[in-house]
């Protein structure tokens, strides 16, 4: 949060902006208002929720983080929240969500929340469901509220993060303003070695004994003890500081990251391959001769999704079909029930590949868990000579269209390396994280990567 001290007065009208394109959205200034709601700025997504209950805010904030991780596209924002509202079984608090698009600003409003853009108010209070809108550029004014008593403040700024607020307005960031800004990405700080202690002040130089000798004859007796005070000059100062400098820095116990080993790739020309006539497929004369498919298991899970023009079932938040790659942006999404396809694969560092069509337990001995023995979930044994992997270390759960990694309160922890992130982050014990395309996971000294159909 940036906080600039102006005259301390409040303003009652929306701040003026001049947003002519999606690129200008990143430099816009968010000015929060006091209130009983929750305001979040995650990447290119702004979310205002009319509740401060963590259980009610968490699903909406998780959706904002997912959209921000995929680039913060406006159309994906509307589709993601529409899917969340269409599939949830609990009451969702009033909220406003915003994200830029190439042709305008995408917004979705639920309940009594209001957002006023360029003088036009949008609200879900008179709608049977929710309101979606793509307001074309330019944007000259914007104000959002979930608390009728919210009044924008003249000296508060939100750069990134989550705070308590009842509304917000947009303004232009002044280059000359000085303030404290919350970093856009919160990362675990690396351990820092203690600073070297300041060297002790050197005692008076050696001329003191010479002066004492010259003054010894005419001066009174009290002056004579001065030379013993300068005697410590003979001891070198670095000797006393050496034990402090030699003390090793204390660091948190964490397994050292392993370098990725990528095997070579050999290319060949198709004409160099031996021509072998493929075996023709058998002709089916009766549909009763076709065995039932086990692609989706005995009990396939039905989810809400959309079909592309080629009739492939997809996550409604995706802009391109995960099967044929056709663009679905211009297609009007129609949510229907369907069998959920596999959500991608998990690739271990030894080349083993596991298709994500069911839940998995990862660990040294996942077969010891009753859920694996009963067939409820599948087990993936992961061996490591470092003995840092628990018997049931972590699990992968399929929730709707998301793949969620959950740490099973492991002893040595589960680490994540997010796309475009320079380092590893340790998950909270028992915590969960929605995986995105390209996320890497470290368990002990073993790593695995998540690849989704959306990244193909």
- Distance, CA of 100 to CA of 122 (rounded, Å): 17
Of residues 91, 84, 98, the one with CA closest to residue 40: 98
The enclosing H or E element of 46 equals: strand 45-49
- Distance, CA of 64 to CA of 110 (rounded, Å): 15
Residue 193's Cβ-count burial label (10 Å; 0-12, 13-18, 19+) is exposed
- Tell me which of 287, 316, 341 is where a domain ends: 341
Check residue 333 and give its pLDDT. 75
| Residue 436 shares a structural domain with residue 309 | no
Please report whether residue 432 resides in a domain: yes
Check residue 256 and give its pLDDT. 53
Q: What residue has token string 């609990």?
A: 90
For the chain, the domain total comes to 3
Please report whether residue 384 resides in a domain: yes
| Residue 46 shares a structural domain with residue 146 | yes
Please report whether residue 244 resides in a domain: no
| Residue 413 shares a structural domain with residue 449 | yes
- Distance, CA of 378 to CA of 363 (rounded, Å): 11
Per DSSP bridges, beta strands 45-49 and 313-314 are unpaired
Domain that holds residue 166: 2-172
Check residue 138 and give its pLDDT. 93
| Residue 148 shares a structural domain with residue 8 | yes
Whether the predicted model's global pTM rises above the 0.75 cut:
no
Please report whether residue 138 resides in a domain: yes
| Residue 322 shares a structural domain with residue 367 | no
| Residue 401 shares a structural domain with residue 432 | yes
| Residue 101 shares a structural domain with residue 12 | yes
Give pLDDT < 70 ranges for the chain.
1-16, 174-299, 330, 453-456
- Tell me which of 172, 196, 215 is where a domain ends: 172
Check residue 125 and give its pLDDT. 85
Contacts of 26 by beta carbon, 8 Å cutoff, 6+ apart:
44
Count Cβ neighbours within 10 Å for each residue of 16-28 and write b for 16 or more, e otherwise: ebebeebebbeeb
| Residue 358 shares a structural domain with residue 329 | no
Q: What angle do CA 317, 318, 322 make, to 5 degrees?
A: 140
State yes or no: cis peptide before 138, omega within 30 of 0: yes
| Residue 333 shares a structural domain with residue 370 | no
Tokens of 293: 């498919």
| Residue 419 shares a structural domain with residue 333 | no
| Residue 373 shares a structural domain with residue 414 | yes
Beta carbons of 26 and 8 less than 8 angstroms apart: no
Instruction: Provide the CATH number for the domain around residue 417.
Output: 2.60.200.20
Beta carbons of 8 and 155 less than 8 angstroms apart: yes
- Tell me which of 172, 200, 235 is where a domain ends: 172
Please report whether residue 65 resides in a domain: yes
| Residue 361 shares a structural domain with residue 423 | yes
Alpha-carbon separation of residue 147 from 37, 62, 168 (angstroms): 7, 22, 10
In order, the DSSP letters of 154-215 are SSEEB-SEEEEEEEEEEEEPPTT-------SS--PPPP-PPPPPPPPPP---THHHHHHHHH
Please report whether residue 255 resides in a domain: no
Please report whether residue 321 resides in a domain: yes
Check residue 127 and give its pLDDT. 79
- State the virtual CA torsion across 411, 417, 423, 429 in degrees, nearest 10: -30
Of residues 211, 157, 166, the one with CA closest to residue 33: 166
Please report whether residue 253 resides in a domain: no
Tokens of 352: 């083993």
Which tens digit of pLDDT belongs to each residue from 130-150? Answer: 899 999 999 999 999 998 877
């Amino acid at each position: 949060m940036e906080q600039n001290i102006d005259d301390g007065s409040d303003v009652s009208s929306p701040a003026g902006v001049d947003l002519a394109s999606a690129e200008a959205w990143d430099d816009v200034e968010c000015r929060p208002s006091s209130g009983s709601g929750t305001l979040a700025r995650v990447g290119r997504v702004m979310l205002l929720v009319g509740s401060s209950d963590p259980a009610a805010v968490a699903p909406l904030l998780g959706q904002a983080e997912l959209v921000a991780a995929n680039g913060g596209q406006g159309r994906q924002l509307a589709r993601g929240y529409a899917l969340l509202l269409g599939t949830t079984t609990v009451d969702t608090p009033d909220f406003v969500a915003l994200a830029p698009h190439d042709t305008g600003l995408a917004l979705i409003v639920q309940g009594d929340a209001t957002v006023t853009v360029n003088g036009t108010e949008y609200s879900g209070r008179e709608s049977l469901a929710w309101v979606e809108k793509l307001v074309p550029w330019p944007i000259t004014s914007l104000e959002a509220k979930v608390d009728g008593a919210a009044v924008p403040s003249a000296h508060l700024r939100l750069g990134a993060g989550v705070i308590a607020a009842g509304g917000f307005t947009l303004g232009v960031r002044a280059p000359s303003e000085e303030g404290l800004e919350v970093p856009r990405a919160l990362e675990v700080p690396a351990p820092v070695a203690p600073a070297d202690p300041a060297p002790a002040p050197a005692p008076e130089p050696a001329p003191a004994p010479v002066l004492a000798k010259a003054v010894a004859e005419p001066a009174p007796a009290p002056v004579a003890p001065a030379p013993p005070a300068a005697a410590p000059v003979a001891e070198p100062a670095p000797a006393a500081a050496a034990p402090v400098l030699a003390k090793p820095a204390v660091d948190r116990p964490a397994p050292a990251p392993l370098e990725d080993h990528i095997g070579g790739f050999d290319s060949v020309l198709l004409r160099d391959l031996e021509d072998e006539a493929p075996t023709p497929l058998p002709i089916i004369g009766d549909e009763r001769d076709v065995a039932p498919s086990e692609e989706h298991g005995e009990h396939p899970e039905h989810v809400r999704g959309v079909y592309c023009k080629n009739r492939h079932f997809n996550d409604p938040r995706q802009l391109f079909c995960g099967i044929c790659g056709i663009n679905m942006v211009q297609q009007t999404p129609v949510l229907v029930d369907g069998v959920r396809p596999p959500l991608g694969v998990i690739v271990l560092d030894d080349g083993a590949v596991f298709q994500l069509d069911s839940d998995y337990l990862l660990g040294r001995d996942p077969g010891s868990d009753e859920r694996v023995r009963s067939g409820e979930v599948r087990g993936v044994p992961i061996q490591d000579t470092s003995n840092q992997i628990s018997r049931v270390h972590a699990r992968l759960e399929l929730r709707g269209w998301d793949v969620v990694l959950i740490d099973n309160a492991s002893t040595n922890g589960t680490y994540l390396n997010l796309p475009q992130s320079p380092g590893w982050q340790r998950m909270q014990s028992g915590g969960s994280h929605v995986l995105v395309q390209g996320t890497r996971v470290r368990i002990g000294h073993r790593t695995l990567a998540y690849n989704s159909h959306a990244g193909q």
